[in-house]
Amino acid sequence: MGRLLRILLTSSGFFTFAVLQLVCLYLIVHHNDTQRKIWAETKFVYGSYLTKQVSDRLAFLDVARENEILRRENAALLSRIPGSGYNTAVDTSTVVDSVMQQRFTYLASRVVSKSPYGPYNTLVIDRGANLGVERGQGVIADGGLLGIVSEVTPRHARVISLLHLDTRVSAGLDNNAFGTLRWDGHDPQRVTVTDMPDYVPVAPNDTIFTTGYSNVFPTGLPIGTVESSEPLPGTGSQNLTVLLLNDPLLAATGYVVRDLFKEELERLNQVK
């Protein structure tokens, strides 16, 4: 308080001058028709500009809110795709029950940071253990895959990108032939499907999908299209070069995939 008073006392001349200037401006505008018109026009021009700027800022906030609503709606729609359900149909001689039980759910998230581009790309999303995110869960983006959760904190999670040398995803064709999808660390637009049987017919532009065998992603999510195939003599397999449908490096949002049957399936896989 004392400091404020010292500032007022030392600058009293300036403040007095400013007040007198405002009084003069008021008297000139209100007692002079020409000056009043100039003031009204100036106020209209600059007032319109300021109003437009404020409206643009508010519109931006509205767009952000609408985007959040759309992301939540997308998550709800993803949970309804066929690969997200478990068929509980019971077919007997007298009873047919075709109810689909929910298996996969989707949590909308936003990418908050990314590692510099390299052979081990990672990113951080703004969803964590508080919302049920766990290690090993898949993350998808608009149009393709994003990666797999590797570390979790209460409010955030670290995701190893699809473009990471250690990432492995079960992927295959719509004829049930499958292999292992991996990235070789070179071209961020292309990945390789290895261990695909060489007797399986493959044509350029065939679509590669998730198989669901790894319990990380649902069955049938499109990943990319076949660009070329390379038989490996003496191995009985072929490698497929796949052009990704999306660019994981540019993704700003994603959806965390939660498998509601994960614990049950893991218990079965542990049985020897």
Find the CATH number of the domain harbouring 225: 2.40.10.350
Q: Over the stretch 129-169, which tens digit does the pLDDT of each residue have? A: 999 999 999 999 988 999 999 999 999 999 999 999 999 99
- Residue 266 pLDDT: 78
180 and 128 together in one domain: yes
Residue 61 counted as domain residue: yes
- Residue 93 pLDDT: 37
- Residue 84 pLDDT: 57
Say if residue 86's pLDDT is above 70: no
223 and 118 together in one domain: yes
40 and 128 together in one domain: no
> 182: which 2 tokens?
């991996």
Say if residue 271's pLDDT is above 80: no
Residue 222 CA neighbour count, 13 Å, CB half: 12
14 and 70 together in one domain: yes
Residue 88 counted as domain residue: no
Residue 164 counted as domain residue: yes
Please give the residue range of the domain that contains residue 120. Answer: 104-270
Residue 137 CA neighbour count, 13 Å, CB half: 28
pTM given for the model? 0.68
Q: Over the stretch 182-197, which tens digit does the pLDDT of each residue have? A: 999 999 999 999 999 9
Compute the distance between CA of residue 163 and CA of residue 167 in angstroms, rounded to an integer: 7
Residue 105: other Cβ atoms inside 10 A? 17
- Percent over 90 (pLDDT), the chain: 48
Residue 83 counted as domain residue: no
147 and 247 together in one domain: yes
Pairing of strands 90-91, 237-244: unpaired
Residue 98 counted as domain residue: no
189 and 266 together in one domain: yes
72 and 109 together in one domain: no
Q: Over the stretch 231-244, which tens digit does the pLDDT of each residue have? A: 999 999 999 999 99
When divided into structural domains, the chain yields a total of 2
Domain-terminating residue out of 30, 58, 77 = 77
Say if residue 53's pLDDT is above 60: yes
- Residue 96 pLDDT: 41
Banded model confidence at residue 59, pLDDT cuts 50, 70, 90: low
Residue 84 counted as domain residue: no
Residue 93 counted as domain residue: no
43 and 157 together in one domain: no
Domain-terminating residue out of 26, 59, 77 = 77
134 and 42 together in one domain: no
59 and 128 together in one domain: no
64 and 117 together in one domain: no
Domain-terminating residue out of 61, 77, 93 = 77
261 and 200 together in one domain: yes
Residue 91 counted as domain residue: no
